Structure formats: structure tokens, C-alpha cells
Amino acid sequence: MRGPGQDTIRRPDWSSDPYADALRSGRGPLFLRRGDGWLLPLEVERWCARADAVDLEALERCEGTVLDVGCGPGRLVAELAARGRPVLGIDISRAAVAHTRRLGGQALTRSVFDPLPGEGRWDTTLLLDGNIGIGGDPSALLHRTAELLRPGGLLIAETVPMDVDERAEVRLVNGVETGGEGESAFPWARLGTPALLRYARPHGWRPCAQWSAGGRSFVALRTRSASSSAEPPKSRAVISNQRPRKPSAGLPVADA
């Protein structure tokens, strides 16, 4: 099923040199640049490091099978996999997916709006590291995320630690002096917790936790339960194995 606004969502070219080069080197600078020159620093060093204490606090809340949307270089996927958690990362950057696989995680080069394995059967989805901004349309993203989860499934999202509701056209750049004219602009969003909850309620999301740690803010929400869903609960998600390997015990594997 296609989410509202999906046809109008333009995808950033995260495989362009600035992003791919930053992931390969493990460091920035890297920014999202708005048309008026405002820069949002991207935390490449943190993304390429191991999961930190703040990440671990969020990951402790995960349930069952986990889909990490916009997994980047894969620190969260790798941490969950090391704990024996069935987990799949998706990212439109080939460099990010390759990095995730090198860490031992499973990942696909896909947009969240593409067809995905296990739709309607995931127990938990993650939208961390600013990924609530994907597509620049929070309502469409929340609708799509609800489609991916089982009834009563869990979304763990990271929000801006202030009351922000912003949508903008941005470009990916690697320095303050870079105008970004050579890069195509794409829509992005920044949401604080109040804004996220406003967008979530019309789609039936129920907030179940809010917390802050290390200067970062998080929200956990649940989809409508099976008792309020028009469709019966589906079986658990299965995770595609993209390279030959022996499946882990208890981890179902299927082709994407």
C-alpha cells in the first residue's frame, strides 16, 4: 500500500560524494544546507562509532524484530545483531548499506517508501538520528511506518530537543563555503516532540514513553492494537539475508 504523498516525495542522493566520502572516512564536516544558508551539522563521527550509552537506552526498549529506517553506517543494526536481535537496516545510500554489512548487520538499499520484506509484521521500527525528517512529510512517513508494523507495534523516534516543526528544501554539503548549487535539493523535516505527537494522533499512534538523555530527545509510540484493527494480526516478520551465511538460531530467513 502506498502512503499519502509518496508520489511527490523526492529522494536525496545520499550516494553522492560528500556523504559517501564522510562514511568511508568516519568523519565530517557534513551538513544539510537550507536555501537561506542555514546549516545543520550531521554527526558523522557519532554515526560511525559504536552505539553509545544514549543509543543503548533506546535500543533496550526494542521489541521482537526490528527495522532500522535510515540505518546509516549501521551502528544500531550491528549492536542489535550482536545481541541476537533479529534486525534489518534500510538506507538509500549504498555506502551506508555496505558499511552496515561490514559490521556484520543485514541491510538493504531501499527507501522506506519502497516495497520491503515483512510489511505489516515488524515488531519495532526505529527513526533515530533525525530520520523523522525523511521525505520532508512527517504525516506520510508516520502513515508508512504504521503500515510496516504489526498491530500494536512500536515506533521509537528521535526528535529535536525543542518545540520545532520545520519543513525545508536542503542540500547535502561538506563545508561552510560550499554553496551546494551542484547538488539537487530535497525535502527534509525537523520535529520536536509536540509536533511529532500532533502528526501522529490522526494516524492512530498512541504515545507510550518520552525521555531525554545526552542532550537528545526520544518518543515511543504504538500503532492501533489488533483489537481495533480491521485486519487480523499477521505472522512475525522475516528478515532477508543478502549474502550467503548460516542463519542464526531462531532467526527466520526469507528472500526479499
Give the model confidence (pLDDT) of 66-100 as tens digits.
999 999 999 999 999 999 999 999 999 999 999 99
Per-residue model confidence (pLDDT) at position 108? 98
Per-residue model confidence (pLDDT) at position 175? 76
User: Which residue ranges of the chain lie beneath pLDDT 50?
Assistant: 1-8, 178, 180, 228-234, 240-256
Contact (CB, 8 A) for 107 and 77: yes
Per-residue model confidence (pLDDT) at position 11? 60
CATH architecture of the domain with residue range 51-167+189-254: 3-Layer(aba) Sandwich (3.40)
Whole-number Å distance between alpha carbons of 1 and 77: 26
Q: What is the crossing angle of helices 138-148 and 193-200, to 10°?
A: 60
Return the C-alpha cell found at 31: 551538513
Per-residue model confidence (pLDDT) at position 2? 32
- Segment (H or E) for 151: strand 149-159
| pTM, two decimal places | 0.84
Q: Is the peptide bond before 12 cis (omega within 30 degrees of 0)?
A: no
Rounded to whole angstroms, the maximal C-alpha distance in the chain is 55
Q: Are β-strands 107-109 and 87-91 bridged in parallel, bridged antiparallel, or unpaired?
A: parallel
